[in-house]
């Protein structure tokens, strides 16, 4: 185990050699701690410090251990305002995305859910999980028990068309 850092020497290493000598070797108001035989190497040690350790560690070979490709499902919701925990808001649209490892595998078709009561939206989300499990689960329920996370998007990003929010279907001049 190495020595503890001497705070005074570390602070001195941040100064130039001339400033350090003026501060520590001055006979009238200095603390007379300057030693020509040790201070030069000690200041160098503190200036290079962690960089030396990093250079020494860079010769160590890295071993990469791959993480198994496990499936997980992400729920995408399109909301009027961001939802906080235990906050009931109207979910405009919903879809689910299946990932295996770091690769997206499948996505359910986004559907409008505004106007549905919260219980029906939760049931529909459960149906999304079940549909992905039936198609891609291979008999293993792992990864399909619940959503790994929920990504919340603005209604302005709603991918479903026609959409009452975008109201493009109401403009007769748009082709």
Parse the chain into domains and list their residue ranges. 7-57, 71-162
Q: Measured between alpha carbons, how far is 36 from 161 in angstroms, rounded to an integer?
A: 79
Better-scored residue on pLDDT, 174 or 143: 143
Residue 99 pLDDT: 93
Q: Measured between alpha carbons, how far is 65 from 72 in angstroms, rounded to an integer?
A: 20
Dihedral (CA of 168, 171, 172, 174) sign: negative
**Could you report the per-residue pLDDT of 29-54, keeping only the tens digit for each?**
777 788 888 888 888 887 777 666 66
Range in 57-71, 104-118, 134-148, 158-172 with the lowest mean pLDDT: 158-172
What is the average per-residue pLDDT within 129-154? 87
Considering only CA atoms, which of 60, 100, 90, 61 is closest in space to residue 152?
Answer: 90
Q: Measured between alpha carbons, how far is 49 from 43 in angstroms, rounded to an integer?
A: 10
Average per-residue pLDDT for the chain: 82
Residue 93 pLDDT: 93
Q: Measured between alpha carbons, how far is 122 from 157 in angstroms, rounded to an integer?
A: 21
**Could you report the per-residue pLDDT of 76-134, keeping only the tens digit for each?**
999 887 766 666 778 899 999 999 988 999 999 999 998 888 899 999 999 999 999 99
Strand partners, 111: 94
Residue 120 pLDDT: 92
Q: What is the pTM of this model?
A: 0.58
């Amino acid at each position: 185990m190495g020595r503890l850092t001497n705070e005074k020497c570390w602070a001195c290493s941040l100064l130039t050699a001339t400033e350090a000598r003026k501060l520590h070797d001055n006979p009238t108001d200095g603390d007379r701690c300057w030693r020509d035989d040790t201070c030069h190497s000690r200041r160098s040690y503190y200036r290079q410090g962690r960089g030396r350790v990093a250079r020494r560690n860079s010769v160590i070979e890295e071993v990469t251990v791959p993480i198994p490709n496990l499936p997980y499902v992400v729920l995408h919701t399109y909301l009027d305002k961001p939802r906080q925990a235990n906050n009931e808001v109207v979910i405009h649209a919903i879809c689910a995305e299946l990932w295996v490892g770091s690769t997206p595998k499948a996505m359910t078709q986004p559907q409008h859910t505004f106007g549905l009561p919260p219980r029906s939206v939760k049931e529909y989300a459960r149906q999304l999980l079940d549909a992905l499990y039936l198609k891609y689960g291979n008999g293993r329920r792992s990864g399909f028990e619940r959503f790994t996370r929920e990504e919340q998007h603005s209604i302005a990003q709603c991918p479903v068309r026609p959409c009452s929010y975008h109201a493009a279907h109401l403009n007769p001049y748009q082709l």
